[in-house]
Amino acid sequence: MKTSDKKQLAIQIVKSIRKAGFTAYFAGGCVRDLILKADPHDYDVATSAPPDTLEKIFPKTVPVGKQFGVILAVLEGVQFEVATFRKEGAYQDGRHPSWVKMSEPREDAQRRDFTVNGLFYDPVEGKIIDYVEGGKDIDAKLIRTIGKAEERFSEDKLRLIRAVRFASTLGFEIEKETWKTIQRMASEIHAVSQERIRDELIKILTRPHPGRGLELLSESGLLKEILPEVETMKGCEQSPEFHPEGDVFVHTKMLLDKLNGPTPTLAFSALLHDVGKPPTFSDEGGKIHFYEHDRVGAEMTRVIMERFRFSNKEIEAVVAAVENHMRFMHVQVMRQGKLKNFLSRETLQEELELHKIDCESSHGKLDNYEFLNQKLREYKEEELKPKPLINGDDLIQEGFKPGPLMGRILRQAYECQLEGEFQVKEAAMLWAKKRWAELEKK
């Protein structure tokens, strides 16, 4: 749905609430984005109407946080968060208030996180309502907490990372006292669940200026708490011959800034592709090496992705990207069968993009990238991944025992098939029998 259409639906929500005799405004980040002439991701509404009344006004609602005064109103299949103006008691778990009471707009604004997110907008009158000087901070490009920074961050420790996210994505600075408090409280981020941290990291890495986001996470002290494996990239020198840009951290930051609306898996592949370099660093007579950093990095990546509770599919995609990123340097000397196998993998396109920005952020040579694109044009899809002529059942019927040797035979047979060594099942089976006998003797 177009942003303009979504906005019109949000205005409908405001008008419906007003028609019932209550106050209603756009609230939070959408107001900030409208001031900045950016397309809001979502339109949230704040109102004087209690949740029970909202459920009567709108035919379809979801009580996602009704106990906190929040419901979702669903119009034309689109969900809009509608929250009752409220004030809150002390936060006892670093996320939820001990009590919530209905309030009025001024008090509601005071309980929000940052001034740039504390504005209201009347879409009917076309008027900004600003109780927290958020407009002033938007003009000054500043991220500042509403009220005392320590109180706001103590209420929800995730706000420590959210401050970095807003600063990097919007291109703003973090106000001095807010920044000092983040640095002082960085170790308290462990009170937040890994899933919530993961979701903020995804937003930082997939939206504008992810490299700056990484830098702010490091300078704030948050990176060493949530991703110590990435923090250790700082000061890990690389060979100037291949990496004139600097250490591994600088290289990674450059990669991130070359991303353009990436998927979460591509963003994390860029972040973690060289995570294995610090533990494999060696200096042999002034020559720097990172032996097997791709393999070590893949193992570390799996641990990190599992820690952040990514799905199995996402984990496998990022692990594959990290494990394979050095294989691109050998593609021009690969046998045809191995090359076709390499090109037919499900994760190839994201790995190819990772390879491109990896090269652009170091030596600048794109010959392997161009070679692979040329091969993709040459090979038809059916040529890249034809059905194997023989499978495990075929070998078992011939008396072979299942196991690692059978898997090896099948992989090699498929590569030979891709290279055109045989075109029919009978020939493939003869080859498999001969190869099996050879390997059994070893």
DSSP assignment letter at 115: G
Q: How far apart are CA 224 and CA 391, in angstroms?
A: 48
226, 250, 274: which is the final residue of a domain?
226
pLDDT exceeds 60 at position 380? yes
376 and 316 fall within a common domain: yes
90, 120, 140: which is the final residue of a domain?
140
Show Cβ contacts of residue 422 under 8 Å, excluding neighbours closer than 6 positions.
389, 416, 428, 431
Please, what is the average pLDDT of the chain?
92
287 and 380 fall within a common domain: yes
The distance between the two most distant Cα atoms of the chain, rounded to a whole number of Å, is 88
**For the segment 281-291, what is each residue's pLDDT rounded down to a tens digit?**
998 888 888 99
pLDDT at 95: 63
Q: How many CB atoms lie within 10 A of CB 390?
A: 21
The residue range of the domain holding 330 is 238-384
With respect to residue 232, please indicate whether it lies within any of the assigned structural domains.
no
427 and 341 fall within a common domain: no
409 and 354 fall within a common domain: no
**For the segment 3-15, what is each residue's pLDDT rounded down to a tens digit?**
678 999 999 999 9
**For the segment 390-399, what is each residue's pLDDT rounded down to a tens digit?**
888 888 888 8
pLDDT at 418: 81
> pLDDT class for 92, splitting at 50, 70, 90?
low
Q: Which residue has the higher pLDDT, 47 or 402?
A: 47
365 and 257 fall within a common domain: yes
Q: What is the mean pLDDT of residues 67-92?
A: 88
Question: Parallel, antiparallel, or unpaired for β 70-75 and 100-102?
Answer: unpaired
Q: How far apart are CA 375 and CA 398, in angstroms?
A: 37
Report the SS3 class of residue 94: coil
- Residue 53: CATH number of its domain: 3.30.460.10
Burial level of 197, CB count in 10 A (0-12/13-18/19+)? Answer: buried
Q: Which residue has the higher pLDDT, 400 or 84?
A: 84
pLDDT at 300: 98
Q: How many CB atoms lie within 10 A of CB 93?
A: 10
Q: What is the mean pLDDT of residues 338-346?
A: 89
- φ, ψ (nearest 5 deg) of residue 436: -60, -45
Q: How far apart are CA 361 and CA 259, in angstroms?
A: 11
293 and 406 fall within a common domain: no
With respect to residue 312, please indicate whether it lies within any of the assigned structural domains.
yes
> pLDDT class for 253, splitting at 50, 70, 90?
very high
Show Cβ contacts of residue 11 under 8 Å, excluding neighbours closer than 6 positions.
123, 124
Q: How far apart are CA 235 and CA 251, in angstroms?
A: 11
263 and 401 fall within a common domain: no
With respect to residue 40, please indicate whether it lies within any of the assigned structural domains.
yes
Long-range contacts of 32-37 (CB under 8 A, 24+ apart): 32/116, 32/117, 32/119, 32/134, 32/138, 34/121, 35/119, 35/128, 35/135, 35/138, 36/138, 36/170
Tell me which residue of 376, 374, 378, 306 sits closest to 345, measured CA to CA.
376
Tell me which residue of 158, 213, 165 sits closest to 186, measured CA to CA.
158
Structure-token pair, residue 234 = 């700082």
With respect to residue 108, please indicate whether it lies within any of the assigned structural domains.
yes
Q: How many CB atoms lie within 10 A of CB 397?
A: 9
Question: Which residue carries 């993009």 as its tokens?
Answer: 353
- In whole angstroms, how far apart are CA 246 and each of 128, 252, 308, 357? 46, 10, 29, 16
384, 415, 433: which is the final residue of a domain?
384
With respect to residue 136, please indicate whether it lies within any of the assigned structural domains.
yes
DSSP assignment letter at 91: B
pLDDT exceeds 90 at position 381? no
Structure-token pair, residue 272 = 């973690």
Q: What is the mean pLDDT of residues 276-297?
A: 92
- In whole angstroms, how far apart are CA 391 and each of 414, 422, 430, 434? 9, 15, 13, 16
249 and 132 fall within a common domain: no
pLDDT at 409: 85
126 and 180 fall within a common domain: no
CA 224 vs. chain centroid, Å, equals 18
pLDDT exceeds 80 at position 440? no
With respect to residue 233, please indicate whether it lies within any of the assigned structural domains.
no
Count of alpha carbons within 13 angstroms of residue 183, beta-carbon side: 11
pLDDT at 220: 98
